[in-house]
């Protein structure tokens, strides 16, 4: 079946999804237009901001793709102070961002759990409950997720990275800390506790094909996920996966594939929140805006204090590392307008899918 027929027809199974992901030329443009149309119909043209605070690059894990993995001794490790995190939260609140994302390397300890719990309560207090909070702090035991939920976090992002256990295994060391089953259980636990649950994958990884990516999208659908953040894989020289760089799609094609993933997901899951990943902007300065045109509705401006941004290098060529938060916001305002979007200031912009899921629809 051709792309046009697939877009007109009802069923989107594995084969149809693969065809969409492999579309080129006019067919690709049809896909993009359809995704944009669905987004405008289902959730409107409003884009919501999540101020992103990458508060520490200290990580106990050793994922083979990531520049801040534990074994990379070239990284200068940092940990932003609580006061600086609260300043960033104030900045987000005062600038009408609506929500904040706290992201960091993965750590598990009682002291860490308490630190995050206290920060969550402080952020709720300083914003009089107005700032929505998303966490992206990796795998934790149920009790920890529960404490953070009670302290005020209501969304959690935990990418499955690749939904295929065999592939997952190839991107991670073989030990209990990097076990696929543990990641999946964590995701289920988050959903059960009541978080708006987000996941995602990297696109254009070595060993991955369009069939795997189609399976990733179907995984999100079957899991009934509320939000997705997914972006291109970008190699980092101080990581084990770097040795496969010659097998990768050229970077522009990875970018293009990421846009097709976003567009296809929007057609598959009409009412979820889809973030325009920062990695898109690392490849194309207008990458996130392009994602908004093909189905994304969330942007995460980086509000990490400027001097630390360089050191949160998950991949190379990370954008905006020299900017202070204020500059970042200005450049974003202009660019969103370019993409015909309107910014939903001072709103949480919760996933409609989550609201319906809660109401039992
Ligand atoms: N430590 C937490 C959150 C920070 S990492 C966690 O792992 O869940 C956030 C995301 O960065 C990861 O989920 C991964 O998908 C992405 N990432 C890591 N290395 C990357 C790379 N080289 N290219 C693109 N994305 C990468
Ligand atoms: Fe740590 Fe997350 Fe990077 Fe894995 S992806 S090494 S958990 S920061």
pLDDT tens string 202-227: 999 999 999 999 999 999 999 999 99
Position 43 pLDDT exceeds 80: yes
Strand, helix or coil for residue 217: helix
Position 336 pLDDT exceeds 80: no
Pick the ligand that lies closest to the CA of residue 316.
Answer: 1
Q: How far is the CA of 15 from the centre of ligand 1 (A)?
A: 28
Give the residue, by CA position, lying nearest to ligand 1 atom 1: 105
Nearest atom within ligand 2 for CA of residue 67 = 3
Q: What is the predicted pLDDT for the residue at 335?
A: 66
CATH of domain 43-359: 3.20.20.70
User: Which letter does DSSP use for residue 345 in this model?
Assistant: T
Give the residue, by CA position, lying nearest to ligand 1 atom 8: 138
106 lines ligand 2 (CB under 6 A): yes
- Provide the pLDDT confidence category of residue 154 given band limits of 50, 70 and 90: very high
Q: What is the predicted pLDDT for the residue at 83?
A: 96
Q: What is the predicted pLDDT for the residue at 131?
A: 97
User: Distance between CA atoms of 226 and 126, rounded to whole angstroms?
Assistant: 27
The count of other CB atoms within 10 Å of the CB of residue 290 is: 21
Q: How far is the CA of 271 from the centre of ligand 1 (A)?
A: 25
105 lines ligand 2 (CB under 6 A): yes
Who wins on pLDDT, 25 or 278? 25
Contacts for 154 with CB less than 8 Å, ≥ 6 apart: 132, 133, 134, 194, 195, 196
Q: Which of 10, 12, 3, 2 has the alpha carbon at shortest distance from 30? A: 3
Pocket test for ligand 2, best of 103, 108, 138 (most atoms within 8 A of CB): 138
Give the residue, by CA position, lying nearest to ligand 2 atom 2: 105
Q: How far is the CA of 66 from the centre of ligand 2 (A)?
A: 6
Q: What is the mean pLDDT of the chain?
A: 94
Q: How far is the CA of 93 from the centre of ligand 1 (A)?
A: 26
Q: What is the predicted pLDDT for the residue at 337?
A: 67
Position 140 pLDDT exceeds 90: yes
Q: What is the predicted pLDDT for the residue at 319?
A: 77
pLDDT tens-digit series, residues 97-112: 999 999 999 999 999 9
- Provide the pLDDT confidence category of residue 328 given band limits of 50, 70 and 90: confident
Who wins on pLDDT, 201 or 356? 201
Pocket of ligand 1 (CB under 6 A): 65-66, 103, 105-106, 136, 138, 158-159, 161, 202, 233-234, 236, 279, 314-315
Q: What is the predicted pLDDT for the residue at 138?
A: 98
Give the residue, by CA position, lying nearest to ligand 2 atom 8: 105
Pick the ligand that lies closest to the CA of residue 62.
Answer: 2
Pocket test for ligand 1, best of 314, 315, 318 (most atoms within 8 A of CB): 314
Question: The tokens 């995460």 sit on which residue?
Answer: 300
Position 228 pLDDT exceeds 90: yes
Give the residue, by CA position, lying nearest to ligand 1 atom 2: 138
Give the residue, by CA position, lying nearest to ligand 1 atom 7: 138
The count of other CB atoms within 10 Å of the CB of residue 107 is: 19
Q: What is the predicted pLDDT for the residue at 206?
A: 98
Position 288 pLDDT exceeds 80: yes
158 lines ligand 2 (CB under 6 A): no
Position 237 pLDDT exceeds 90: yes
């Amino acid at each position: 079946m051709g792309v046009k027929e697939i877009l007109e027809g009802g069923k989107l199974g594995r084969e149809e999804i693969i065809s969409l992901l492999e579309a080129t030329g006019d067919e690709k443009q049809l896909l993009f237009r359809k995704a944009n149309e669905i987004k405008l119909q289902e959730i409107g043209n409003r884009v919501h901001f999540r101020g992103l605070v990458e508060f520490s690059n200290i990580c106990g894990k050793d994922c083979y793709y990531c520049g801040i993995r534990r074994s990379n001794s070239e990284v200068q490790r940092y940990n932003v102070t609580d006061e600086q995190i609260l300043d960033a939260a104030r900045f987000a609140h005062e600038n009408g961002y609506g929500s904040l994302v706290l992201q960091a390397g993965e750590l598990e300890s009682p002291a860490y759990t308490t630190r995050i719990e206290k920060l969550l309560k402080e952020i709720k207090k300083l914003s009089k409950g107005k700032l929505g909070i998303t966490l992206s702090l990796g795998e934790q035991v149920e009790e920890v997720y529960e404490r953070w939920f009670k302290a005020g976090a209501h969304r959690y992002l935990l990418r499955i990275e690749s939904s295929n256990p065999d592939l997952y295994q190839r991107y991670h060391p073989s030990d209990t800390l990097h076990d696929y089953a543990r990641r999946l259980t964590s995701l289920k636990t988050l959903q059960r506790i009541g978080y708006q649950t987000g996941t995602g994958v990297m696109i254009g990884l070595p060993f991955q094909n369009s069939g795997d990516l189609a399976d990733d999208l179907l995984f999100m659908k079957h899991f009934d996920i509320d939000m997705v953040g997914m972006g291109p894989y970008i190699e980092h020289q101080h990581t084990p996966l770097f040795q496969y760089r010659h097998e990768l799609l050229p970077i522009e094609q990875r970018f293009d594939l990421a846009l097709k993933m976003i567009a296809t997901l929007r057609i598959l899951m009409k009412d979820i929140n889809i973030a325009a990943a920062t990695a898109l902007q690392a490849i194309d300065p207008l990458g996130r805006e392009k994602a908004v045109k093909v189905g994304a509705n969330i942007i995460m401006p980086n509000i990490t204090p400027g001097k630390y941004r360089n050191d949160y290098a998950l991949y190379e060529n990370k954008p905006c590392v020299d900017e202070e938060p204020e500059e970042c916001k200005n450049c974003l305002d202009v660019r969103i307008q370019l993409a015909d979007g309107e910014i939903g200031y001072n709103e949480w912009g919760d996933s409609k899918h989550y609201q319906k899921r809660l109401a039992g629809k």
